[in-house]
């Protein structure tokens, strides 16, 4: 039986949300900006961190010059580089409630949630986290009102297409600008999508295949997006795959073990299939059928903030709590 340990500090469950203004997201460059280079290049103030420009690398490929400048951010006070999780998973909950509290339609909450995701992706890149898995649309979400489901899938498709096409069509000057400010975002993220894709619109399935193929060599961060996904579905499809192999004589019954099952799970797309840390927003204290096998010894962290209000401060709190824990994997305290 799967056993989940909710080793959550008391402060985590009673902490009051910290109000803070939200900007338009890490890829938006409208207002509230501060210069960081004498050349006038600017970055939104929400990244109120110390930026250091590394030496510029210049490569010549097929007769064209490629310029890349790396920016690095010092870790927030209290966080240790050697204790950073390799894989962080997030249940992005509360978009609908965020919208209702403001008298807005659910679509507004989902749009705001995309901006929070962009910021989280940027922070993961800057702080050395290698895999980020987000629960974007569960198998159970199909029972929601049709108009909301269609909007969610449309929003996901538009977000994927926008990032993919903008990268492909940028001029050399625009590309240089993005590489200087966001080297982790432009050309560094590998995108993988897990879940029952057979239920998705054909156009979205095609786009997912294109994006996965185009980004498969990127190594800065692997972003795994769970769409039409459930943990139970994941285990069932793995069992079916193993049963087919046993039926065809490719494996014997005695060959079936945890390692073989892991290889058949949807998270076989990553080198680090087991999240070190799971974050869930909106004060819900459950895992909601997400990565059930993979979360066996994951550290869990729950926050009161709704997903659109989750930002850098909340992420630092989660990472700080994670680094203060002793992971025993069933053993005793040392």
Active site residues: 93
Q: How far is 141 from 289, CA to CA, in rounded Å?
A: 12
Half-sphere exposure of 289 (CA within 13 A, CB side): 16
What's the chain's length in residues?
334
Kindly write down the DSSP assignment for every residue of 262-311, as one continuous string. HHHSGGGGSS--S-SEEEE-TT--S-TTSSTTTTTT-EEEE-SS-GGG--
CB 188 within 8 A of CB 234: no
- The set of residues, in sequence order, having a beta carbon less than 8 Å from that of 127 and lying 6+ positions away, is 73, 75, 79, 84, 319
Q: How far is 52 from 282, CA to CA, in rounded Å?
A: 34
Q: Which residues pair with 134 in a beta bridge?
A: 90, 225
Query: Phi/psi of residue 152, each to 5°?
Result: -60, -45
Q: How far is 244 from 238, CA to CA, in rounded Å?
A: 10
């Amino acid at each position: 039986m799967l056993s989940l340990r909710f080793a959550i500090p008391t402060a985590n469950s009673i902490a009051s949300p910290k109000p803070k203004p939200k900007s338009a997201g890490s890829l938006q460059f409208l207002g509230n900006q501060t210069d960081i280079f004498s050349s006038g290049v600017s970055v939104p103030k929400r990244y109120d961190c110390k930026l250091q420009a590394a030496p510029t690398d210049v490569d010549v490929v097929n007769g064209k010059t490629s310029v890349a400048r790396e920016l690095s951010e010092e870790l927030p006070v209290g966080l240790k580089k050697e204790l950073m999780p390799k894989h962080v998973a997030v249940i992005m909950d509360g978009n609908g409630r965020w919208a209702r509290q403001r008298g807005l339609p659910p679509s507004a909450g989902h749009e705001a949630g995309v901006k929070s995701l962009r910021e989280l992706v940027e922070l993961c890149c800057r702080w050395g986290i290698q895999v980020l898995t987000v629960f974007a649309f569960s198998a159970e979400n199909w029972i929601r009102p049709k108009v909301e489901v269609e909007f969610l899938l449309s929003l996901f498709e538009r977000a994927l297409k926008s990032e993919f096409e903008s990268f492909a069509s940028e001029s050399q000057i625009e590309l240089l600008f993005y590489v200087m400010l966001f080297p982790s975002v432009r050309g560094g993220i590998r995108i993988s999508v897990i879940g029952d894709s057979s239920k998705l619109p054909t156009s979205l399935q095609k786009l997912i295949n294109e994006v996965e193929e185009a980004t498969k060599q990127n190594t800065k961060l692997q972003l795994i997006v769970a769409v039409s996904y459930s943990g139970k579905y994941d285990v069932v499809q793995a069992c079916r795959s193993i049963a087919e192999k046993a039926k065809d004589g490719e494996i014997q019954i005695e060959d079936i073990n945890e390692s073989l099952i892991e290889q058949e799970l949807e998270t076989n797309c990553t080198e680090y299939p087991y999240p070190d840390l799971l974050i869930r927003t909106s004060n819900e204290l459950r895992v909601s059928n997400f990565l059930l096998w993979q979360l066996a010894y994951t550290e869990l962290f729950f926050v009161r903030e709704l997903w659109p209000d989750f930002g850098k401060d909340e992420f630092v709190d989660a990472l700080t709590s994670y680094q203060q824990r002793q992971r025993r994997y069933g053993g005793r305290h040392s």
